[in-house]
Structure formats: C-alpha cells, structure tokens
Structure 1
Amino acid sequence: MAAPGLDGCSWFAALSLGVSLLKCLFMDAYHSTDFEVHRNWLAVTHSLPVSRWYHENTSEWTLDYPPLFAWFEFGLSHVAQHFDRNMLVVENLNYASPATVLFQRLSVVFTDLVFIFAVRECCRCVQEQKGPRDVLSRPSFVLAVLLLWNFGLLIVDHIHFQYNGFLFGFLLLSVAKHLQSRHLQGALLFAILLNLKHIYLYVAPAYGIYLLRSYCFTQDHKDGSVNWRSFSPLRLLALGAIVVSVCALSFGPFIAMGQLPQVLSRLFPFKRGLCHAYWAPNIWALYNMLDKVLAVLGVRLKLLEEAELPRASMTGGLVQEFQHSVLPSVSPSVTLVCTLLSILPAVASIWRRPRGARGFLRCLLLCALASFMFGWHVHEKAVLIAILPLSILAVESREDAGIFLVLTTTGHYSLFPLIFTPAELPIKVVLMLLFVIFSFAALRKLYSGQGSLLRPLESVYLAGLVAVAIACEIVFPLSPWQQRLPFLPLLATSVYCSVGVSYSFLRLYASLLRQDEKPKQL
C-alpha cells in the first residue's frame, strides 16, 4: 500500500535533489585508490577484447568484480571517451586529469538515480501510523532521509569513491518488490545484483530459503509446518530460469572462452588475509586484539620468547596473510564454517515459521551481519549491507529503532579511518553529526510516548564514541605516539566499534528468537 502523499510529493523530490547537489560539492575532495581501480577497469573494458579482461594485470588493481559489472564499466567507458580519452589507456596508471575526476564523480551521482528510485519504492511499502501527522513525523519521510542522506554512502561513494549507491539500489528495490509480493521481480533484481558484485552472496541464503518456503509453497498449515502437497514445481522452475538466465548472460561468454576458472580466481582471492587494511569492526578485530594482548603479556611474564613470535602483526594495517602470535591462526575454511553456523538459526526460522516479507527482511539483516562478523577479509564498508535495510524496520518498530541507533552510530563511525586527510575531517564530522542528530530526533519523535529507544548502558557506550573520536582525531595526531604507533587509532576504532556491532547482532537475533516462541495457550 502506497504511503499517503508519496505520489508526486514535493518533499521526496526536494530530498533527492538536495542530496544530489551535495554530492556535487565533493568533486574536488580526496579520493582513495578505488578511484584508480575503476579508472583502470574503464580502460581495460574499453581498450581490450573481452578475452583479456580477466587476464590483464598491467595495474595491480585487476578486474575482480563479476562480468555484469565489467559490462557496466564498458558502457561507462563509451561516455568517458568524450571527457578525456587518455583515461582509457591501460598504461596510464594513476591518471587523474580534471576531466577524468569530473567524469568519475558525475558517473556515481548519475547512477545513484537507481538508488533514489529504490528508496521511493521502499517508502511506498512503509506502514504509516494512524492519525494526522505532519510530513516531518511520517515514517515514510524519516525513512527517505535515513536512506537518501545516509552518512556512510555519502563518504564511501562520493569522497572515498565507489558505486555502492547504484548497487544498493538493486538490493533495496529487490526488497521492496518482495514487500509488495512481487517475488519474481525481486528474484530477478537480486540475481542481477549478484552478477554485479558478489559480496551480496552474504544475503543469498535469506533469499533462497525465503523464496523456496514462501513462494514455491503456495499454502501453509496453521501450525507453520511444511505441506509438501502445496509445493509448486512451476514456481521453482520460474525462479531457476531467472537465476540461470542472468548467470548465463553474465558468465556465458567467459564459459564459452574457457575462462571461468580465471574469472573465479579473480572474484575469490583468498590470499588477501583474514582482515582488510582497515579492520572491519567484527569478531576478528576482537580476536586480533586478544592475540596481541596475550602476546605482550606472555613476553612480559617471560612465558614467551619475543624472538620466537611471528614477526607479522595484525595491527600493521596491510593487506596480506598473517599468523597470529598466541591464538590459533584463522583460515578461510574456519571463517566459512563460523559464518554458516551463525546464519543457520536465522534461515531455519523463516523456513520453520514464515512471517512474510518482513520476516525475510529480518533474516536478510542477520545474514548480512553474520557474514560481516565472521567472514574472511571483510571490508568495513560491508556494514552498510545491514544498516540500510535495517532503516526500513527502524521506522516501523520501536525495538528495531533502538538497535538501528546503536548499529548505525558505531558502524558509521568505524568508516572514519577511510577518510584520513585533514581537509576532509570537518566534512566527515559535520555529516556524521547531522545524520546522528536527525536519526535520534526523528525516531524519538516517531515513537514519542512509547519510552526511551536506548537502554542506559547503550547510551553510555555511544557516549564513549565521542571520547574515542576526540582521542583518535585530535589528541593522537598531536602526540609523540603518532610516529611509533601509527595504527593505534585504527586499532582503537575497530575494537571499540566491534563491541557495538556485535551487540546489535545479538540483539537482532534475540528479537528473532522471541518471535519464534509460540504464544502460550490460555
């Protein structure tokens, strides 16, 4: 059911136009190595035959996204040639002329139209509260701001540089289609998304189990048990045809050339190590910290010989394989087992007791967070896969709103190390403060009279982020430790934020398990 006043409403257009203009102000801001990554991919797909796309290695930033994204870059390159053809020369490494920067920045802003459209569809699915309300206190308005003006997307895409908004557009649009009971459209959009960026495999189990249980089974018993006589093979074939068709379109040319192993080796480079250069705030950040503490204590208590400990350190901030000093080293297979075990209760829940599309959305969030918590070489930016969809539940449930405030504040702050240049410090601080203030104020107004959204210890924990921020962003750069321990702020940020993200994950699971409890018979 459409949100009242959303059709043709001026406020949504104003929000969309305003955030697009804000993005344009970041044209000359700092950009990371991801800028060169995507420039190189433009050059590779434009200048070389398809057969060489996944073999080209002139640059260290080789093509490592699925084929549909390569075709996306190929399409962009035909527009890029009208800005500066030199950016499309493979040998022009680290090329960043003003015209190149202008094109790449504009390409992100323009492709965000997919995200804007997806947000509009999600706002249509929001359950509006009864009674007269001004626009500012409508759930659909709050959701639009939380998504369109999301702090993480603004700094990751439009300063750091990536195309996450475009990709999240497909994810949110897929979720919206499921909320509207248009399951085949939702499945098609997600299949396309997987072939654009394979990181969304994190949430594939939620899609697979939900569609199998709630779409392929046309009727359910009142007790929630599976009625195999209601199983529809035609619906399963329809879903299979969608997935196979999209994958054939994406990987077909490379399978025909016998290059599938080469493509897969690019997509899953397990040699990159357990942690990314900037630690994701997950269980492995806590594990690494514990290993470091045990190693230091062991040396000081003369239980360990410093010379015998592995020289590599997980606090070095580099992208490579490491051995832990005291605790057992973690392999990709261990992270896979941990991830599968952590999502098992969530997918079992929607199989055993389907609760509609919002039950699927909760499962999707848990799969995203479980993969973030236990995955191999997780990027800190992957926390957005949980933050953005959780925004939908946050405007409909007071409990979810509280979890959202903890997760979005800690998850977004964990992105601060991505933007480390002094000129951008005021920008990220102001944007973060504005987003946090709006999130707290809008959600409190939405649930006014229903009690506090945060528990006392949650408030204390979030207040501690202020101390961490001051220490890392102001005090540390002026201290003598900056030269001796350059990655100390990164360590402190990752470990502190990992507590908040882990807590949010556990609270979401507790909420799911409470819903699984059958009501008591009177």
Structure 2
Amino acid sequence: MRQLRKNKFVSLFRSSPLNDFLVPFRKAQNQWVARYIIIVFALIVRCAVGIGPYSGENTPPMYGDFEAQRHWMEITTHLPIGKWYYFDLQYWGLDYPPLTAFHSWLLGKIGSLIDSSWFALNVSRGLETPDLKSYMRITALFSELALYIPAVILFTRWMGRYYNNASTIDQTIIAAAILYQPALIIIDHGHFQYNSVMLGFSLLALVNLLYDNFCVAAILFTLSISFKQMALYYAPIFFFYLLRICLRSPRTHSVCILRFVSVGCSVIATLFLEFLPFVVFGGIGQIKQCLIRLFPFERGLFEDKVSNFWCATNIFIKYKSIFSTSQLKTIALVFTLIGIAPSCGLICFKPRKELLPWCLASCSMAFYLFSFQVHEKSILLPWMPITLLLNEVDSDVISMVCWFFNAALFSMWPLLKRDGLIIQYAVLGILSNWLMGNLSWIRKALRAIKLPVHYRNLATPVLPHNLFWRVIIVGSYIAAIGLQIVEFVFDPPKSLPHLWIIGNVEISFCSFALFWIWCNYRMFTLAVDDSKLKTE
C-alpha cells in the first residue's frame, strides 16, 4: 500500500499539555509505553466519572437507562430466548437488536456468579446497591477497552502510516486527543450505556475498509448494527463504498463479482447466525417482533427536546398537530434522503479512503438533523467520525472540530443536568479543551495585560482563519455561556417552563447545521484536490 501524502507531518498539538505529557517518549523505538499511559489515564478519567450519579438514580418507578441495562440482564438470564422481546413491554422491554441481548445475557451470567440477587427475576427492579453499581460500571469500562479504544489506536496508526506521515508518538498524541473527548465518556460512564460497543464495531469496520479487508469490514459493521440500530446512520456510506469497490475496482476498473458475492454472503451469514437462536426457540414471528421493538414509530417525530431540525423548528411549526404520524415519517424520510445525498453520491463516484471519515460525518449528521425519533445521545453517531478528523493536518479543520465537540457536549446539558452530572460536565469540558491546547488564549491574554506568565507558543488555534467562522464560533460560545449563566441565576417563567431547554436546542441546532454545511464543503474540496488523493 503506497503512501497517500508526501508532505512532512506538522503536529498541530505541539504546544499543548497533551504533547507535553507524551513528547518525552518521542525517542523511544517502540511507543507501547506511551500508548499504555494514555489508555490507563483514559480509564482513570472514566472511573472518576463513574463515581458520580447515573440515569434514573433514586427515581422510581421507571428509574432510567442504568435500570434498563440491568433489567435486560435480568430477563435474558432468566427467561427462554423466545420471550426476550415480549416480556413486560410496559417496563423496560428489550428494544435493541440481538447482539445487545446476547451482550446482556453474558454480563448477566457473569454478574450472577458474583451475586445472584443483582438480577433476580421480578424482585431486583430498581436495585441500586454499591456492589451492583460497581459491577455495571466495570462492564462499561471493559466493553470500551475491548473494542473502541483499540479501534481508535488502529485508525490513527493507519492514518500515520499512509495518509498524514505522522510519527508514532504523534499518532499516540492524536489517539489521546480522541479518547479524552468528553461526549462518549459522560454518556457511557456517567449517564450509563454501552455506546462504545456499537462505535467500536463501526470504527473497526472502517479500519478494515482502509486495509481492504472487505468481508471482515462487512461482518464488523453488521455486528455494529446488530448491537444498536442507530449504527444505520453509517450504513449508506458503507453500502455505497463497498458497492462501488465491488462493481468497479479503482485499481483494475473491472467488476469483481466474487468480492460482491463474498461481502453479501458475509452480511447474510452474520445476520442469520444472530437471529437463528430466536427462530429456533421462538418461531419466525420473533423476527417481526424484534423489528417492531427496534423501530417504534408510534412514539412520534420526537419525544424529548433534541437539537435537530424538527424540534428546533417546532416552535414555529407544530408538526404533530398539522401532520399525521404516517405523513411525518414520509416527510422525515424525504429530508433525510436529501441530507445524505451529497456524502453518498461523493463516496459512490469517488471511493477514496481519505473521504470515508468525512462522508461518515456528513451522512450521520444528516441523519441526526432530519431523521425520525432522534435522541440527545444520538449526537454520538456523527461525533465518532468527526473525532477522526483530528488526524487532518489542517489547523482550520482542528478548530472547527473542536467547536463541534463543545457544541455536542453543550447539546446534552439538559440530559446531564437531569442526571445530576453537572460537575462531570464542567470538569470534562475544561479538561479536554485544556489538554488539546484550546485554552492557550488565556495565557496570551494574561501576557497582553503584562502579567508575568511563562512564555510559550500557542497550540492549535482556537478559531479558524476565516472571519465568517470566527464570528459564528465566538457568537455560539457567547450565546451558550450566557444561557448557562442565566439558567443558573434565574428560573424559567412559569408560562414557559422549558424556555432554557429550548434555548439550548436552538443554539445547538444552529451550530450543528452550520458545521454540517461546512463539512460538506470541505468534503467536496478534498475530493477535488487530487494532490491529496493520490491512490486508493
């Protein structure tokens, strides 16, 4: 595999605390110590977040996502497989794909060996003992350690070798910058979920695409969808890329029927093996029941206030009172198809590996903005490929990506506040920006007013060079900080109890929409610049 870029790598984190911590290992021939350090520190940060509260703590009768995950371990370890998707749907009925069910079964079995009362059928509901909470937190840690963290390191390694010419230590620094982003940390280890499994499978699938392991990539991405159906946000890009590679190889310009059949059979075989136990022990109706549980369209266009197009514009257009659920499904589908068209068309007609993270970011962001039934945590879907853009050797890209990170964290504020994760929200936000050097402007400001601070070069520019984006980013930060100050000082009017949440939605949506537009622009700019796209 030939190298894609010939220019010298320039580290955009060279003056950041993250670089200061890891640069002493630069001369080492093997960087395993540096990787060990960033992984251990990543786990320590996650453990610290896990000490705090979680979704639904001490809030009967439904509790929250923590109880949902525990309850799935309860039903999968005590009920026959044919009843998993039918049991007590008014409580926390299983509504994720088969791989989540098997994951819950495995963790439930292991946990039952430690203390069987944690998952006792019907009598363990709402259980919140310290040992159970510790066990659940540990399962989230090991799930991420097994899949997502290795996937990040593998991706940055490929980018360093074949795209941006980054040295091994610079690859480690970029991987650390990705791993210390707060959105996934605070959702999986604070709020409590297992999103890292889905994201890990998707990222491993992407890595295998980069290495031309097409069947392995297809299997891994199928596993990702089979863990959480939201991974479908990435499906169009994987589909069109594999379709184009199979039907017209960029190298030979010939149709590769064997590859096409192999990829198709890999997907079918994976799905067959996953659903086989349900069909054998519950009949063919299990597949229909599973699909009904996975796509609950009866819930409507949206439930909670989320920073997407429909919720943001609902203050002007009352969609639910104007259109039926069936009509809203069709309208949302049309908008989503229009939104994903640019990225799907580009990756189909120009199937370049360098474009994959950009197209995944654009496509998943369009799903988040326009699709039916989006949740606050769904921002993690576009968040994952956008973190991969930290591998780009372009300060403007890094600045825009950092803006997105902050907007994503801010968009989840209403959810995190409800969970009691206020301290975690603030500390993680400050920590991640400080590590990447985004707070270096403070030192510059102190020097400007003649305070005796140690001189050092600034790290990655906080703002891009373009004046328009500077104004947008500064304006969004002022609006977000102002809203949070107002929210802490004043209660919302009784006639408008959700006013502050709506303000959060509007600021976040405008930021996401503008970032999506910019992402599409840069995606096509990169595609046109053939000097950066030299080979497959």
CA distance in structure 2 between the aligned counterparts of 1:446 and 1:124, rounded to whole angstroms: 27
Secondary structure of the 1:26 match is helix
Residue 156 of structure 2: aligned partner: 123
CA contact (8 A) 1:84 1:99 kept: no
- Does residue 1:181 correspond to 2:212, yes or no? yes
Residue 520 of structure 2: aligned partner: 509
Residue 233 of structure 1: aligned partner: 257
Change (3 A) 1:290 1:248: same
- Does residue 1:389 correspond to 2:385, yes or no? yes
Q: Using the TM superposition, give the Cα deviation of residue 419 of structure 1 relative to its aligned residue in structure 2, in angstroms.
A: 1.2
| Cα distance per residue 1:201-229 (max 9 Å; x no partner) | 111110011011124433558xxxxx5xx
CA contact (8 A) 1:83 1:100 kept: no
CA distance in structure 2 between the aligned counterparts of 1:351 and 1:263, rounded to whole angstroms: 31
- Does residue 1:109 correspond to 2:141, yes or no? yes
Tell me the amino acid that sits aligned with residue 134 of structure 2.
L
CA distance in structure 1 between the aligned counterparts of 2:186 and 2:519, rounded to whole angstroms: 26
- Does residue 1:371 correspond to 2:367, yes or no? yes
Q: Using the TM superposition, give the Cα deviation of residue 8 of structure 1 relative to its aligned residue in structure 2, in angstroms.
A: 4.4
Change (3 A) 1:456 1:183: same
Q: What TM-score do you get using the length of structure 2 for normalisation? A: 0.81
- Does residue 1:94 correspond to 2:126, yes or no? yes
The higher-RCO structure (CA 8 Å, 6+ apart) is: 2
CA distance in structure 2 between the aligned counterparts of 1:155 and 1:132, rounded to whole angstroms: 29
- Does residue 1:248 correspond to 2:272, yes or no? yes
CA distance in structure 1 between the aligned counterparts of 2:473 and 2:317, rounded to whole angstroms: 26
Change (3 A) 1:275 1:368: same
Q: How does 1:167-178 map to 2 (within 5 A)?
A: 167-178=198-209
CA contact (8 A) 1:127 1:396 kept: no
Q: Using the TM superposition, give the Cα deviation of residue 151 of structure 1 relative to its aligned residue in structure 2, in angstroms.
A: 0.4
CA distance in structure 2 between the aligned counterparts of 1:441 and 1:61, rounded to whole angstroms: 41
Secondary structure of the 1:82 match is helix
Tell me the amino acid that sits aligned with residue 323 of structure 1.
S
Q: How does 1:191-230 map to 2 (within 5 A)?
A: 191-219=222-250, 227=253, 230=254
CA distance in structure 1 between the aligned counterparts of 2:493 and 2:186, rounded to whole angstroms: 25
CA distance in structure 2 between the aligned counterparts of 1:253 and 1:104, rounded to whole angstroms: 26
Tell me the amino acid that sits aligned with residue 321 of structure 2.
Q
Please, which moves more after superposition, 508-517 or 114-123? 508-517
| Cα distance per residue 1:373-421 (max 9 Å; x no partner) | 1111111222222222222223224243243123222122111222115
Change (3 A) 1:215 1:267: same
Report the identity percentage: 25
CA contact (8 A) 1:66 1:196 kept: yes
CA contact (8 A) 1:47 1:90 kept: yes
CA distance in structure 1 between the aligned counterparts of 2:464 and 2:477, rounded to whole angstroms: 19
CA distance in structure 1 between the aligned counterparts of 2:287 and 2:83, rounded to whole angstroms: 13
Change (3 A) 1:344 1:245: same
Task: Tell me the number of residue pairs that the alignment of Structure 1 and Structure 2 aligns.
Answer: 479
Please, which moves more after superposition, 169-178 or 489-498? 169-178
CA distance in structure 2 between the aligned counterparts of 1:439 and 1:242, rounded to whole angstroms: 40
Residue 61 of structure 2: aligned partner: none
Change (3 A) 1:470 1:249: same
| Cα distance per residue 1:175-216 (max 9 Å; x no partner) | 122222322222221111111111111111100110111244
CA contact (8 A) 2:188 2:194 kept: yes
| Cα distance per residue 1:331-374 (max 9 Å; x no partner) | 1121112111221222122222222x122232222111111111
- Does residue 1:416 correspond to 2:416, yes or no? no
CA contact (8 A) 1:406 1:458 kept: no
CA contact (8 A) 2:99 2:227 kept: yes
Q: 1:43 aligns with which of 71, 74, 77?
A: 74
CA distance in structure 2 between the aligned counterparts of 1:465 and 1:429, rounded to whole angstroms: 17
CA distance in structure 2 between the aligned counterparts of 1:132 and 1:185, rounded to whole angstroms: 26
Q: Using the TM superposition, give the Cα deviation of residue 427 of structure 1 relative to its aligned residue in structure 2, in angstroms.
A: 2.3
Change (3 A) 1:450 1:381: closer
CA distance in structure 2 between the aligned counterparts of 1:449 and 1:81, rounded to whole angstroms: 49
Residue 286 of structure 1: aligned partner: 312
CA distance in structure 1 between the aligned counterparts of 2:110 and 2:358, rounded to whole angstroms: 39
Stretches of structure 2 lacking an aligned partner (at least 5 in a row): 4-8, 10-25, 56-63, 442-455, 532-536
Change (3 A) 1:441 1:510: same
Q: Using the TM superposition, give the Cα deviation of residue 460 of structure 1 relative to its aligned residue in structure 2, in angstroms.
A: 3.6
Tell me the amino acid that sits aligned with residue 371 of structure 2.
G
- Does residue 1:277 correspond to 2:304, yes or no? yes
CA distance in structure 2 between the aligned counterparts of 1:489 and 1:6, rounded to whole angstroms: 53
CA contact (8 A) 1:115 1:166 kept: yes
CA distance in structure 1 between the aligned counterparts of 2:80 and 2:358, rounded to whole angstroms: 43
Q: Using the TM superposition, give the Cα deviation of residue 54 of structure 1 relative to its aligned residue in structure 2, in angstroms.
A: 0.3
CA contact (8 A) 2:156 2:391 kept: no
CA contact (8 A) 2:201 2:224 kept: yes
Q: 1:27 aligns with which of 46, 50, 66?
A: 50
Change (3 A) 1:458 1:236: same
| Cα distance per residue 1:427-453 (max 9 Å; x no partner) | 211211221333454999999799963
Tell me the amino acid that sits aligned with residue 67 of structure 2.
E
CA distance in structure 1 between the aligned counterparts of 2:402 and 2:136, rounded to whole angstroms: 32
Residue 434 of structure 2: aligned partner: 437
CA contact (8 A) 1:126 1:392 kept: no
CA distance in structure 2 between the aligned counterparts of 1:173 and 1:479, rounded to whole angstroms: 46
Secondary structure of the 2:45 match is helix
CA contact (8 A) 2:355 2:527 kept: no
Q: Using the TM superposition, give the Cα deviation of residue 242 of structure 1 relative to its aligned residue in structure 2, in angstroms.
A: 0.7
Q: How does 1:287-306 map to 2 (within 5 A)?
A: 287-291=313-317
Change (3 A) 1:358 1:422: closer
RMSD between aligned residues: 3.3
CA distance in structure 2 between the aligned counterparts of 1:515 and 1:99, rounded to whole angstroms: 51
Q: Using the TM superposition, give the Cα deviation of residue 468 of structure 1 relative to its aligned residue in structure 2, in angstroms.
A: 4.0
- Does residue 1:268 correspond to 2:268, yes or no? no
| Cα distance per residue 1:62-119 (max 9 Å; x no partner) | 1011111101100000111134322313323222222221111111011111211111
CA distance in structure 1 between the aligned counterparts of 2:157 and 2:439, rounded to whole angstroms: 19
